């Protein structure tokens, strides 16, 4: 490779007060992210990226394969699978002269979407809001029940459609969850809920925190590894918000 001009991929830089060393992450959601400790010289990044060139190319190629295999984000889905709550919804699309998208539940497993269904942004937004409502109906009581089971009190639970996190815990005692968790296997969702609840006891990622997570979920290490590529399970009509 001597004399060859190496082209660096686009990347995002995130400064972390917790990071002790520079880290490189490649995900479906964010592409290449360079995490640097506070005060780290950004001028060093290109050379460090070149040293990781082969690994980066392999990782980014896997992301490209994933995107190529996904249907276009403007393609209307005919079904929505929610493995976390064991539901499959069949979608019926009906174009009408209404000015806004309306979603109506038909029976136990049908959704009828009416209105300007050729407006991609409109129906994507409506489906995401529907997913959030499903999350509020199911993830909130699930988290509250698990909170009682573990004996870890919390103040409240919120559900949104975040871009980069499955969940988080705030110092005010709020567990914030991503509605897209509904698209994951139930075992992974339970792990995320346990993870966030344990932050109510240890608001960090110290050894004591991981010990507590392991106490409530013995398979935590395996599930944590499974969760890393789980963004691949999120359909493209949701990923378009990323």
Helix, strand, coil shares of the chain, percent, nearest 5, are 45, 20, 35
Residue 9: what pLDDT?
Answer: 64
Residue-range definition of the domain harbouring residue 135:
120-239
Q: What is the pLDDT of residues 51-109, one digit of tens each?
A: 888 888 787 777 666 555 545 556 889 999 999 999 999 999 999 999 999 999 998 89
Looking at the domain assignment, is residue 230 inside a domain?
yes
Residues 193-235: tens digit of each pLDDT = 999 999 999 988 899 999 999 999 999 999 998 998 888 888 8
Counting other chains too, the contacts that 21-26 makes at CB distance below 8 Å and 24 or more residues apart are 22/48, 24/49, 24/52, 24/55, 24/56, 26/56, 26/59, 26/60, 26/62, 26/63
In a domain, 112, yes or no: no
Q: Which two tokens stand for residue 206?
A: 């110290």
Structural domain total, the chain = 2
> 191 lies in a domain?
yes
| Co-location of 62 and 128 in the same domain | no
Parallel, antiparallel or unpaired: strands 110-115 and 87-95: parallel
Tell me the per-residue pLDDT of 185-196, one tens digit each, with 9 for 90 and over. 999 999 999 999
* Bridge partner residues of 15 (DSSP): 36
User: Any idea what the CATH number is for the domain that residue 159 is in?
Assistant: 3.30.2010.10
Mean pLDDT of the chain: 86
The answer to the question of residue 208 being in a domain is yes
More confident residue, 36 or 190: 190
pLDDT band at 4 (very low <50, low <70, confident <90, very high): very low
Inside any domain, residue 88: no
């Amino acid at each position: 490779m001597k004399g060859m001009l190496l082209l660096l991929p686009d990347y995002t830089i995130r400064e972390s007060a917790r990071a002790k060393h520079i880290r490189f992450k490649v995900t479906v959601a964010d592409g290449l992210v360079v995490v640097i400790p506070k005060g780290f010289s950004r001028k060093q990044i290109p050379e460090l990226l070149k040293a990781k060139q082969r690994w980066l190319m392999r990782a980014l190629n896997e992301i490209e394969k994933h995107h190529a295999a996904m249907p276009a984000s403007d393609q209307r889905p005919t079904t929505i699978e929610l493995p976390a709550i064991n539901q499959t919804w069949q979608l019926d699309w009906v174009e009408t002269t209404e000015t806004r998208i309306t979603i109506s539940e038909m029976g136990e497993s049908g959704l009828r979407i009416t209105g300007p269904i050729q407006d991609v942004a409109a129906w994507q937004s409506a489906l995401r809001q529907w997913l959030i409502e499903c999350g509020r109906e199911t993830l909130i009581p699930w988290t509250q029940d698990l909170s009682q089971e573990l004996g870890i009190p919390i103040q409240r639970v919120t559900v949104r459609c975040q871009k980069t996190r499955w969940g988080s815990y705030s110092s005010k005692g709020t567990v914030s969850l991503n509605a897209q968790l509904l698209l994951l296997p139930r075992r992974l969702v339970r792990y995320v809920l346990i993870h966030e609840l344990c932050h109510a006891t240890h608001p960090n990622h110290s050894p004591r925190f991981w010990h507590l997570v392991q106490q409530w979920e013995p398979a935590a290490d395996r599930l944590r590894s499974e969760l890393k590529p789980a963004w691949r399970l999120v359909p493209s009509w949701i990923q378009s918000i990323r």
